[in-house]
Amino acid sequence: MGVLERFRITRFALWIQRVFGKRHARIGIYGPPNVGKTTLANRMLMDWAGETIGTVSEIPHETRRAKWKSNVKIENGSSSLVIDIVDTPGIATKVDYKEFIEQYGLDPDEAKRRAKEATEGVIEAIRWLESIDGVVLVMDSTENPFTQVNVTILGNLEARNLPVIIAANKIDLEKSSPATLKSAFPQHPVVPISALTGYNLDNLYTTMVKHFGKRRRKRK
């Protein structure tokens, strides 16, 4: 194990302990469709467990059932802890099967099936909010962040007092503007990342430690 890898694992383990104060926490990866939730979940799991959790696609609603990896062991020096990572379906207020046909060339039956499963996935993702301890909320930094879905997800997390980190994804794209996300949600930490390339993932974990460590001290 390299020095950098050992550093990342240790910092992440510390973050988990600071945030949750326990040795087993469930972390939800949330966001609208097609923002890179599964790409990030895969990247995180590759870092901590050496495997992936789901397939990715340019077609929205590729993840239509929540998937999780339980008992991911995170080593922290001589001790260790265990987390569950939950990759949730994208949350949307509408699902139109015709978009799958017209924009992505699916046949009508497949498009209808995908749309039906997507609606069930949205319901499931919202239900999972009851069962998680913290959230990495993924947003597409090339898009306008002021969508109702983003606002609704954040509002729910705040109402439930769940700790949240906003991952401003897709900064490898020219149009990305993570600064817009930072100005849109100044009350939450926003970390620009590229889940696709892995760029700045180290900074994501480091920011988690700083942010949640501060929150915990405030509560004392």
Partner 1 sequence: MKKEKGVSVTLISRKKLESFSTDEKIDYIIKEVSKGKILVLENGLTPVEQSALIQQTMAKIDHDTFIGIEMEGYADVENDGNMLRKILNKIFGVIKKPRMTVIGPANLLKTVYKDNNVIQTMIITGKGAK
- The kind and range of the H/E element at 15 are helix 3-20
Nearer to partner 1, 7 or 146 (CB): 146
Compute the C-alpha angle 84/217/7, nearest 5°.
50
Start-to-end C-alpha separation, the chain: 36
Residue 185 makes contact with partner 1 by CB under 8 A: yes
Residue 186 makes contact with partner 1 by CB under 8 A: yes
Distance CA 220, CA 216 (A): 7
Which one of 21-29, 50-58, 73-81, 141-149 is the stretch in contact with partner 1 (CB under 8 A)? 141-149
**Torsion-angle region of 75 (φ positive above 0: left; ψ -120 to 50: alpha; else: beta):** beta
Residue 105 makes contact with partner 1 by CB under 8 A: no
Q: Which of residues 52-81 bind partner 1 (CB under 8 A)?
A: none
Q: How far is the CB of 176 from partner 1 (least distance, A)?
A: 18
Residue 216 makes contact with partner 1 by CB under 8 A: no
Return the residue matching tokens 């606002």: 151
**Torsion-angle region of 106 (φ positive above 0: left; ψ -120 to 50: alpha; else: beta):** beta
Q: Which of residues 159-178 bind partner 1 (CB under 8 A)?
A: 159
Nearer to partner 1, 181 or 201 (CB): 181
Q: How far is the CB of 160 from partner 1 (least distance, A)?
A: 8
Which one of 1-9, 72-80, 85-93, 164-172 is the stretch in contact with partner 1 (CB under 8 A)? 85-93
Instruction: Give the chain's length.
Output: 220
Residues paired with residue 168 on neighbouring β-strands, in sequence order: 139, 192
Residue 25, token pair as written in the block: 């926490």
**Residues at the interface with partner 1 (CB under 8 A):** 91-97, 112, 115-116, 119-120, 122-123, 126-127, 129, 144, 146-148, 151-152, 154-156, 158-159, 183-187
